Amino acid sequence: MTLSEATVVLQTYKEVDKAATQLWHNLDEAILRPRTDLRAAPLPKIQIDGNCIRASEHFADNNIKALFKELEIVIRFLIENLTPELVKSLSDVMMPILSGRVKELWLDTAIPASLDEIESYQKALIQVQEFANTLEVLGWPDSHGLHRWVEDAHKNWLNKKRETVLDWTRNELSLGLGSPHVAERVQKKMVPRDEGMQITATGNAVDDTWDAAWDSDKEDSSPVEEGRPSKTPASEILPAGSTERNRSSLDEQRRHSSITHTSPEPEPEPEDEDDPTDAWGWTDEDATEEAAVDTDASESATTKDALAAASQNPNPELRQVTISEKFQTSSIPQAILKAVIGVLNDGAILAQPKNESLPISPAAPGLFNLPTLLLAEYRALSQLYYAENKNGNMYLLNDTVWLSDQLQDFAAQWKEREDIPERAVRMIKIDPEINKLISFGNRAYTNELIAQRTIIHDLLAGTQNFFQQEQDEIQDGIRFIIQQIRERNKAWFDILPWSSCCSATGSLVNAVASKLITDIFELPNIGVDEAEHIATIISKVEGLDDLFVKPGQHGANAVPLTGQFADKWFKLSFLNQVLQSNLADIKYLWTESELSYYFTAEEVVDLIGLSFENNVNVRQTIKEIKANPMPRKGFE
C-alpha cells in the first residue's frame, strides 16, 4: 500500500489527524526536539539522505540562521514526501508547538538588554523575517506569528530591558547596605554681607537647606506663650542677697537657693520659622502624607532669615557663601542612580534623529517611563534590607536625600542637552519621583523617631506619672533614658550631618522634657524633699547638654545649642528653677527674667499652688502675676 492509498484509508475512517499527531510526536522526539532544545546543547545536526531524515552524529551551529536553514530542509522534506492531506494535518499540530519553542528558546533569548548588541538583534530580525517569508512561499502555516514577532521588535526589546533592569535592581538591593559612603552636600547662596560673615563663622545656614528634613514631630505639652526666645541660656538671675521668706514652714528655708545675677538679655525669636517642606521642595500633597513636622528645632541664623532681612533693606550688600555638611550613605543609592541614568541615556540615544531607522527606536518613550518603575521598586523593596541594619532608617533618609540631589542635577543637565530632540527632553518626569523619594525618606526618619520616643515614653512610666513611682524606679528609669539617648546620638553622629543629628537627638530630649513637665504639673502637691528630688532628676537630663556642642568647640568656647533643637529644653530648665525658688525669686523670674516666654501666667500660678501653702504672701504673688500676664512685652 502506498502512502496515498494509506491516506485515503485514514480519511475514510477520519484518522488523518490522529496519524498526523502521532507522526509529529515521533518526529519531534527523534529529530526536532534534540535540535531545537537550546538548553540541551550540543545540538545534533539534521541530515537527509534520499527519503530518510535523521539526527546525525555531527553537531549543528548554535545560531538562528543555521536553525532556520535546517527547519526549512525538514519542511521541504515533509512537503515532498507526504500527501497534501497529511501535510496539512501535520503542519497544523506541529507549528504551534515548534514556533512557541523557537520563540521562547531562540528568539526571545536573542533579544539583547543593551544597545551595544543591537546589531546582532537586527540580524536576527532579518533572519526571522526571511524564514517567515519562506514559510509563506511554501504554504506552511504560522508565518504570521513570526511576522508579528518582527513587528513587535521594539516592544520585545523594551520588555527585555525592563525585566533586566528590574531584576538587576532587585539583586543590588538584596546585597544589603554594603559599606558606608561619605557624601557631601554643597550649596551656594547669596546673603547680606553681615549675615554671610556669621554663616561663614558658624555654619548655621546649612540647617535651613538640610536640617529641615530631619525636623522632629511636635509633641504636645502644657501651653506655651507665643513669642518666647528659643536660644536663651538656662541659668537665670534672681536678686542678689534675696532672703525673703514667704512660707511659714521650714520647707521654705530648705528650698531657697542662691542664683547668680548675670542673666543676658533674651534674644527675640524669629517670627517666621523655616518650613522644611520649602527646603526640600515638597508639594502640599506630599507634605500631608507625613507626620506634622516641628520647625522649632531648626537653627535661627538661616539664610532664609538673612534674605528676609535683605528684603527690608532696599540696597543690601550681598555676598556669596558656600555651605556644606558631610553625611553617610549606604551603597544602595549609587546602584539605583546608575540604573536610572543608564536607562535614560539609552532613551536619549534612541531618540536621536540618526537612529530613527532602528527597529527599536519606538521604544524610547517607554524607556523614559522605566525610571518610574525602577524607583517604585526601590521604595517597595528597600525597607526590607534597610531594616537589617539598626540604623537603617537614617541611612534610608540620607540615601533618598543623596539620590534626589543627584537626580536633580541630572535633570538639569538633561535639559541642556543638544544631541536629542526637544520632545525627548520633555519626556522624562524626574521631579515627581524626587518628591516621592524625599517623602519616602522622611517617613523612614519619622518612623525612627516615633519608635525611639515610644521607648522613652515607656521608660518614663508610660501613661502613669513618672514621679509617683518608687525612688529606685525613678532613678533607674532616668538612667536608662539618658543611656538610650546617648547611644542613639553616638550611632547617628557619623551617619547624619551634625545639625541633623542634633535635631534627631533634640526630638528625643524633647520627648523627655515634655513628659517630665506634664507629670510635674499633674502632681497633687510638691513638698521640699520632692522638689529637690525632681531637681536632681532634671539636672541629670540637663547633662545631655554636651551632645549639642558643635564639633571643635572646647572649654569656654563650648556653647551647647540644646534649646535650638529641643524647644521644651528651656521650659524644663525654668521649671526646675521655679521648683527651687521662693516667692520673691519666682516673681523676679516672671517680671525681670524670661519665665513668661515659656510659661503662661496660669501655669505659674498652678506651680505656686503645688509648691506653697495658701497664705497672704502666696495670694499676693498670684495676684501680681495675674495682673501682669505679659511682663516682658515692654522690654521688646
- 8 within domain boundaries: yes
- 7 within domain boundaries: yes
Please check the confidence at residue 369 and state whether its pLDDT lies above 90: yes
Residues 467 and 615 reside in one and the same domain: yes
Residues 93 and 198 reside in one and the same domain: no
Separation between Cα atoms, residue 342 and residue 336, nearest integer Å: 10
Q: What pLDDT was estimated at residue 523?
A: 94
Residues 12 and 114 reside in one and the same domain: yes
Output DSSP code: residue 494. Answer: T
Query: Rounded mean pLDDT of 165-190?
Result: 91
Q: What pLDDT was estimated at residue 331?
A: 96
Mean pLDDT of all residues belonging to the chain: 82
- 89 within domain boundaries: yes
Q: What pLDDT was estimated at residue 43?
A: 94
Query: Rounded mean pLDDT of 414-437?
Result: 89
- For residue 557, name the pLDDT band (cuts at 50, 70, 90): confident
For 31-85, write each residue's pLDDT tens digit: 999 999 998 889 999 999 988 999 999 999 999 999 999 999 999 999 999 999 9
- 619 within domain boundaries: yes
Burial class (CB in 10 A: 0-12, 13-18, 19+), 142: middle
Q: What pLDDT was estimated at residue 168?
A: 96
Please check the confidence at residue 199 and state whether its pLDDT lies above 90: no
- 120 within domain boundaries: yes
Q: Could you tell me which residue, 160 or 274, shows the higher pLDDT?
A: 160
Q: What pLDDT was estimated at residue 242?
A: 37
- 376 within domain boundaries: no
- For residue 189, name the pLDDT band (cuts at 50, 70, 90): confident
Residues 144 and 199 reside in one and the same domain: no
Residues 195 and 135 reside in one and the same domain: no
For 105-151, write each residue's pLDDT tens digit: 999 999 999 999 999 999 999 999 999 999 999 999 989 999 999 99
- 101 within domain boundaries: yes
Q: What pLDDT was estimated at residue 3?
A: 76
- Choosing from 151, 170, 205, the residue where a domain stops is 151
The fraction of the chain above a pLDDT of 90, given in percent, is 67
The distance of Cα 442 from the centroid of its chain, to the nearest Å, equals: 6
Burial class (CB in 10 A: 0-12, 13-18, 19+), 42: exposed
Q: Could you tell me which residue, 330 or 251, shows the higher pLDDT?
A: 330
- For residue 636, name the pLDDT band (cuts at 50, 70, 90): low
Beta strands in 390-456 (DSSP E): none
Separation between Cα atoms, residue 159 and residue 113, nearest integer Å: 9
Query: Rounded mean pLDDT of 150-179?
Result: 96
Residues 142 and 189 reside in one and the same domain: no
* Number of structural domains the chain divides into: 2
Separation between Cα atoms, residue 122 and residue 581, nearest integer Å: 88
Q: What pLDDT was estimated at residue 193?
A: 63
Residues 217 and 142 reside in one and the same domain: no
Q: What pLDDT was estimated at residue 209?
A: 37
Strand partners, 185: 325
**Angle formed by the axes of helices 153-174 and 364-386, nearest 10°:** 20
Residues 631 and 487 reside in one and the same domain: yes
Residues 132 and 213 reside in one and the same domain: no
Please check the confidence at residue 179 and state whether its pLDDT lies above 90: yes
For 202-237, write each residue's pLDDT tens digit: 444 434 334 444 444 444 333 323 333 333 333 333
- 339 within domain boundaries: no
- For residue 195, name the pLDDT band (cuts at 50, 70, 90): low
142: left (phi over 0), alpha (psi -120 to 50) or beta: left
Separation between Cα atoms, residue 380 and residue 574, nearest integer Å: 46
Q: What pLDDT was estimated at residue 248?
A: 34
Range of the domain at 133: 3-151
Query: Rounded mean pLDDT of 600-609?
Result: 94
Which region among 156-160, 261-265, 323-327 has the lowest average model confidence (pLDDT)? 261-265
Which region among 261-265, 456-460, 589-593 has the lowest average model confidence (pLDDT)? 261-265
- Choosing from 151, 175, 209, the residue where a domain stops is 151
Residues 244 and 125 reside in one and the same domain: no
Q: Are 304 and 209 in contact (CB under 8 A)?
A: no
Residues 517 and 607 reside in one and the same domain: yes
In terms of pTM, does the model score above 0.85?
Answer: no
Residues 106 and 188 reside in one and the same domain: no
- Choosing from 130, 151, 172, the residue where a domain stops is 151
Q: What pLDDT was estimated at residue 455?
A: 96
| Bridging pattern class, strands 52-59 and 318-329 | unpaired
Please check the confidence at residue 299 and state whether its pLDDT lies above 80: no
Query: Rounded mean pLDDT of 557-562?
Result: 89
Please check the confidence at residue 414 and state whether its pLDDT lies above 60: yes
Q: Are 330 and 177 in contact (CB under 8 A)?
A: yes
Q: What pLDDT was estimated at residue 194?
A: 60
